[in-house]
Amino acid sequence: MKIPLTIVLFCVFQNLAHAQNLASGIVFQDTNNNGLFDKTEVSLSGICVSNGVEVVRTGKDGKWSLPCGDDTGFFVIKPAGYMTPVTTDMIPQHYYMHKPGGSPSLPVAGMAPTGPLPKSINFGLRPQKEQKNFKALIFGDTQARGLTEVNYVTHDVVEECLGTDAVLGISLGDIVADDPNLFKEINESISQIGIPWYNVFGNHDFNRGAKDDHFSDETYERFYGPSTYAFEYGQVVFISLKNVYFDSEGKYKSHFTDQQLSFVKSYLSHVPENKLVVLVMHAPIISCDNRKGMFDILKDRPHTLSVAGHTHTMAHVFADEKMGWFGKNPHHHFINATVCGSWWCGIKDETGIPHATMNDGGPNGYSEIAFDGNSYSIKFKAARRPADYQMNIYLADDIQQAALDTTSLLVNVFAGSSRSKIEMSIDNGPQWTTLEYNPMRDPGIAAMQVYNRFLGSTINDTTLNTIFGWEMDKPALSRHIWKGRLPKGLKPGTHRVTVRSIDMFGQVSTGQRIFRVR
């Protein structure tokens, strides 16, 4: 059968058009660390590369190819045992952004035009030793408004992280507070910690003035690359997801796009089931309107964890069927503490830094995740406080003996969860009494809010902001408070209560408070 010439020409033109929409390149071992694929260097096979939707592995010759549009971010997924280049600010360079026309005109500059698609987009990797046991620092919401608050981040948190034994760090979005111009300064500060630092896109990192959500992360991309990407370290797979999307009025919702769901599904088809999959995002996964789509991709994997910030509280959530999770065991979602606490609010201390207490009554700070193969443990660190400061105990200083049986003791164990066991003993006695898990508003943060409102009614707003910084958020439900009662038979005099916490990872912390019975 003779095929008409018109059909032959149509097929040829279609193939040519398709070829023009393909990006390709090589992943190689960058022996001399110059970023160029030199003749003496070897290509690497089996390495995952993505365009944010599809994921392919490099062939025996190290080559890859993927569809390309006019605004596409390509990235190599750093495999275990290798590292990508980093900038002087310790930002991993695992990507190439293809924006031939550049970003649209915005109040804060996005990306300059990148020009025609390169003939070959090459990614260089260098070998590095990686142990199955390693630590990662996790910052939630540094959320700096102006250089003053960049300095708060620096002195309150960054300086105490110098010399850490963590091998990488992650900021969970809201890196700045509506001013992407500050990415440079916050990066320079955090880079002093001296470890590769990965970043997640948050709702306060967006480009104001963008007429379409597609352009909400143009400045973010200029500094950090694609807002959806992945990397591996040891037995752990990290997947970073932008999960806040804006409408034409600048309002946002928590959501995963179809492209992101396709990316995660495609990538995980290349990931062995014995690896731990860690999703990092800004808004909690439980707030995403289509979280079930993501849960369906993860539900058959035995080792998963997701981590977010955004709420200015800390909580361990165990997603079950009521939340759309249908895996064998509940999915652990960790809402991390925020570096900025509650928007850097509160009375300043003698060094000029606000107390920045979070909305759940916990101090501002950050977390350290210790990985051991495909298992993990999480430990909270309060900013500029001793490492063993893990709880606040609320109990009156003076208690009438007749009121002992009606006097409640409240304990806020900052990183506690419903799986924690909290106990108390009196006067260092051998008997431990289990406290009742009792989520509620923290009485300390509630008192701060009342005091703030009282001052606001007596002085003008300008003076109030000078004292407190920005207005405090309303107290939020604290998911890590326990309640107990003192024993009836305490004699008049001075006593001590000791509270012991054993968390879901078996980590033990203690706190003490002295009180008097009259």
Model pLDDT, residue 371: 98
CATH 2.60.40 holds for 391-517: yes
d(CA 52, CA 38): 28
Sign of the torsion angle spanned by Cα atoms 199, 203, 206, 212: positive
How far is residue 488 CA from its own chain's centroid? 45
Q: Which of 311, 308, 360 is closest to 334 using CA atoms?
A: 308
Model pLDDT, residue 13: 33
Residue type, position 356, single letter: A
Q: Quick one: tokens of 94? A: 């695992």
Count how many Cα atoms sit within 13 Å of the Cα of residue 139 in the half-sphere of its side chain: 32
Q: What are the residue ranges spanned by the domains of the chain?
A: 125-382, 391-517
Residue type, position 117, single letter: L
Q: Which CATH number describes the domain made up of 125-382?
A: 3.60.21.10
Q: If 0-12 CB within 10 Å is exposed, 13-18 middle and 19+ buried, where does residue 104 land? A: middle
Model pLDDT, residue 202: 97
N residues, the chain: 518
Model pLDDT, residue 473: 75
Beta strands 315-319; 436-437: pairing state: unpaired
Residue pLDDT tens, the chain, 518 long: 444 444 433 343 334 334 448 999 999 999 999 999 999 999 999 999 999 999 999 999 999 999 999 999 999 999 999 999 999 999 999 999 999 999 999 999 999 999 999 999 999 999 999 999 999 999 999 999 999 999 999 999 999 999 999 999 999 999 999 999 999 999 999 999 999 999 999 999 999 888 888 899 999 999 999 999 999 999 999 999 999 998 877 788 999 999 999 999 999 999 999 999 999 999 999 999 999 999 999 999 999 999 999 999 999 999 999 999 999 999 999 999 999 999 999 889 999 999 999 999 999 999 999 999 999 999 999 999 999 999 999 999 999 999 998 899 999 999 999 999 999 999 999 999 999 999 999 999 877 765 555 444 454 455 545 444 566 778 889 999 999 999 988 999 999 999 999 999 999 999 999 999 99
Q: Quick one: tokens of 261? A: 């769901």
Fold match, 125-382 / 391-517: no
Model pLDDT, residue 459: 47
d(CA 21, CA 116): 11
Q: Which residues neighbour 123 within 8 Å (Cβ) at sequence distance 6 or greater?
A: 25, 26, 27, 28, 47, 49, 76, 84, 94, 96
Model pLDDT, residue 151: 98
